[in-house]
Amino acid sequence: MKTTKTSQTLAIILCLGALPLLALTTGCAGDRYHQSTGEAIDDHGVSSRVKSALSNDQQYKYDGVDVVTFKGTVQLSGFVDSSAQRSRAGALAKSVEGVKEVENNITVKQ
């Protein structure tokens, strides 16, 4: 009887101890619509590098352009004065390390 009680107690302790490990491994996974923790960190770095490339451009300054990255795809949005600025922003973003694709949704002011 004592062995059974000890075994049950040990089993409960092991199960409760495994719960945090299970939560940690499933909480970090990504899927098609959600980023994993690593992807979120990588995407933040890509966004920062794209913003830096846009702000350091010698021809134009891109104050009105927003940059969002999801799983390596960079989305540019906002407003610029000319179609040349729009094209240049897309080209600059594509040249940044870690960018897989660029969705250039920048609007040219009329």
**Looking at the 3D structure of the chain, how many domains does it have?**
1
pLDDT tens, position by position, 55-80? 999 888 888 899 999 999 999 999 99
83 in any annotated domain: yes
pTM: 0.71
CB atoms within 10 A of CB 29: 10
95 in any annotated domain: yes
51 in any annotated domain: yes
57 in any annotated domain: yes
Provide the domain limits for residue 96. Answer: 37-108
62 in any annotated domain: yes
pLDDT tens, position by position, 20-39? 654 555 556 667 778 788 88
CATH number of the domain that 99 lies in?
3.30.1340.30
Q: To 10 degrees, what angle do helices 37-55 and 83-94 make?
A: 130
Measured in whole angstroms, how far is the alpha carbon of residue 77 from the centre of its chain?
A: 16
